[in-house]
Each structure stands twice: as C-alpha cells, then as structure tokens.
Amino acid sequence: MVFSSLTFLLFFLPAVLAVYFAVPARFKNAVLFIFSLAFYAWGEPVYVCLMLFSTVLDYSCGRAVDAHRGTGKAKAALLVSVCVNLALLAVFKYSDLFVQTFNRLCGTALPLPHLPLPIGISFYTFQTMSYTIDVYRGRAAVQKNIVSFGAYVALFPQLIAGPIVRYQTIADELNTRTHSADGFGEGAWRFTVGLAKKVLLANNVGQLWDILRAVPAGRLSVLGAWLGIVAFAFQIYFDFSGYSDMAIGLGRMFGFHFPENFNYPYISKSITEFWRRWHISLGAWFRDYVYIPLGGSRRGRAVQLRNLAVVWLLTGFWHGASWNFLLWGAYYGLLLILEKFVLKRVLDRAPAAVCRLYTLFFTLIGWVLFAFDDLSAGLRYLGAMFGVGAPLAAGSASYYLLSNLPLLLVCAAAATPLGKLLHAKLCGLTAEPAAAATSPRTDGKTGRAAGQAVPAVLDAACLLLLLGLSVIFLVSGSYNPFLYFRF
C-alpha cells in the first residue's frame, strides 16, 4: 500500500497542480480538499469517513467554543474535541495492546480487535485537537468555512507523516496565500531532495539493517551489531526527514509555509539538543499542550521532574502500541533529566567532538529500544553490541561494512549541513547559518551572488537527475518500507 501511495503521488501530483492553478483563488481550497480525500482514499478508502468525522467534529467544536466563549459551554465543546480525538487514537491505535495487557493481567482470552491503523491518524488528530485548544485559548481565530478547514485537516502533502502543522501556523495562508515561480521552484527542489533521501538513501541503507537484524543472536558479532544499528539510524532519519521534506516542498508549491521538522539532529552535542532538532513539530506540540499546561518548570523541581516524565512517557507511547516505545520514552526522559540537573556543566566544558560522540552513542542505544517490538530480542541485540556472547568481528560483518562503505559515507555526509553549504557555494547563494534549515535550498530569503551563480540549467539538471534516479529506483525496486506508517 505504501509503495502504491508514493508511486501514486508522483502520477497524482501533476493532475492536482493543473486543476489547482487553473481554478480561481476562491476554489483552490476546495480543490485541495477534494484531491486530498482522493489521495487518502487510495490507501484507506474506508477510513475517509473517519477523517470526515474528525473534520466535522472539530469544526463544530471550534464554532461552539467561539460562539460561547467564556462560558461552560465553550469548555464543554473543548472537552468533547479532546476526549473524542484521544478516544479515536485509543480505539484505532492501542486497542490490541490494551486487550493483550488485560488478558495477561486477568487471565482472560478476549479476542484482539485487529483494527487496521488509519494512515496519519496520529498526525491529523493532534492537528485538529490543537485547533480547538488554540481557539479556546484565543490564539487562533475560528475558521468559519468548513471547506477551508477540511483542506487543513486532509492536506495531502503532510497527511502521511507530518510535520504536525498547527492551524495557527497556516491560518492566514488558508484564507489568502501568494504563488510565485520562485516559490514553486523552491518547493519542487525541496520535494525532490526529500524523495531522493527516502528512495535513494533510506531504502538502500535499510536493506543493510534488515540483513543484520535477521542474523541470529548467537552469530551476530559486535561489529555487525553496531553496523546494523548505524544503518537503522540512517534509515529512520532519511525516511522520516525525507517525507517531511516532501511535505514542506509540496506545501510551498501550493503557497503554504509548513514548519521545519528536522535540523541535522546527528550533529547534536547533547541529547537535549538532539530533541530540539529531531521531529521538531512533535516536540513543540507536547511542550505547548502538555508540558506547559502541567506547569512546566515554574512550580519547583519536583513538579518539573514529574512533567518531564509524563511528557516523555507520552512521547514514547505516541509512537506505537508496544511497550518498547514506552521504555524508549522513559529512556530519553531519564537522559534529559540527567542532562538538565547533573550533566549540563560537564557537557558545557567538554570538547565538541566528545559531546557529539556521547550523543551519538546514547542515540544509537535508544534506536535499539525503538527498533525491536520484542524487548527480549532488543536486549539480546544490545548484548551483542557490547560483546555478550558475540565475537568482536565476523567475516560477514566485515564484508557488509566494506561493500556498503560508500553508501554509509554518503549517508554520513548527507546527515550534516555539508550538502547545503556546498550547494550554496556552487550556486553562489548567500548561505544561511548551518542550523537554519534542513534543505540544501533556501526559501527565497537568500540570493545568488553576482558573478558567482552557476547557470540555472545546471541547477535544474541536478533536480531532474535526482528525480529521475528516484523514480527509477522506486518503480524498479520492491523494497520500499515506510517506517512511520504505524505512528
């Protein structure tokens, strides 16, 4: 289904663009809404009704909050929105886990529901829920046009894997947005870079992870275990950030400015910094709608520790219906608490290289917890990484390292701002600071330096080359996993 959806998108997009730019401005949101529902129906025809239900529910709750502002009815409408959205997540995402846990605790044998997971439900329920909350708080104006609101909820560029786009971020652009050739070109470049990250890098390095993950615990060497988890770290980064880049690029082509979701997290010098650079929109959502409402850091250290623990347990649980994700969230919560109250002074004084190695080490350990639904299998893999019942190296691991070394080096370079800076230099762009964006293309804020610009045809040729290679790999290859499908 994921393979067909990504392939479908490439053939679906020209038709959407043609109709979108052909109709008058007042019909553009309707075009986006209709085509977004069609795109969603390609993968989940039954659950289109669920998305329409969420749209109507939160649109109605937002109108009720606005109409009865300052009264108990407004609070009731807010509670309906929050409770129903959370209930949808509980039923469709966590029902199997809840039933399994109940059966184990009570010795029952209730059948598992086995409900198919609606694509993107974790993203669009958070988006619609935050809309009602922001209207209640007075931070967003109510949307009175249900078609425009439906376009926001179902917007296909970021429907599958985010970023989580809060209503207030694009509220003005839903009503009035500008289109330009430069903006469209920037969006097309960003989309193509994201597609290449997903298809050329994530898919290929993911095959190495799948091979090494399947090695029996007794035959896995230390080298093989570390090589495998490094491959997974690259895979999940390029898979998820690639989809985010595609979403941001598509949004730009349609006149929207979606928030950044990744900012080279693997160059971080602390776990705290890593989580400021990884899945930025999710971290900001939990900060604004969970951590701060609980009191943040304003009510003393004990409350702050509780709030951090709650946020990170919820962050782990958000990622999937398996206890390993809860453990993964607890792991990062503990690390962040230690950094905040114990390690900060040490890290501030340590050399940058040491801090980056420290961050990468604990990030890779965290990816083991994340990658294995079976906790016992994950612990065995961790044991192999540290030599428990595993040889230091084996012939197969050395072979996989040498045969995949060029790919790993490309991935390592692509996970840093090197490509962006090189592109800026070659094209004569006045480059932004390395931490400003995740794309090698800017958003219209920089220009080509006089006399230094590479001809535009070369820029276009690079784009076409990446696009052509991505399409070839996508159409000819059968390996195209989507790691964030279950989230």
| CA-to-CA dists, residue 287 to 181, 328, 339, angstroms | 36, 18, 18
- Count CB-CB contacts under 10 A for residue 325: 22
Rounded Cα gap, residues 394 and 215, in angstroms: 12
Q: One of 68, 179, 257, 319 is an active-site residue; which one?
A: 319
- Partners of 448 in beta bridges: 429
Up-side HSE of residue 71: CA atoms within 13 Å toward CB?
8
Catalytic site includes residue 319: yes
Write out the chain in H/E/C secondary structure: CHHHHHHHHHHHHHHHHHHHHHCCHHHHHHHHHHHHHHHHHHHCCCCHHHHHHHHHHHHHHHHHHHHCCCCHHHHHHHHHHHHHHHHHHHHHHHHHHHHHHHHHHHCCCCCCCCCCCCCCHHHHHHHHHHHHHHHHHCCCCCCCCHHHHHHHHHCHHHCCCCCCCCHHHHHHHHHCCCCCHHHHHHHHHHHHHHHHHHHHHHHHHHHHHHHHHCCCHHHCCHHHHHHHHHHHHHHHHHHHHHHHHHHHHHHHHCCCCCCCCCCCHHHCCCHHHHHHHCCHHHHHHHHHHHHCCCCCCCCCHHHHHHHHHHHHHHHHHHHCCCHHHHHHHHHHHHHHHHHHHHHHHHHHHCCHHHHHHHHHHHHHHHHHHHHCCCHHHHHHHHHHHCCCCCCCCCHHHHHHHHHHHHHHHHHHHHCCCHHHHHHHHHCCECCCCCCCCCCCCCCCCCCECCCCCCCHHHHHHHHHHHHHHHHHHHHHCCCCCCHHHHC
Contact 428, 156 (CB under 8 A): no
Can you say how many angstroms the Cα of residue 404 is from the centroid of all Cα atoms in its chain?
26
CA distance 240 to 161: 7
Which amino acids are annotated catalytic?
Answer: 319
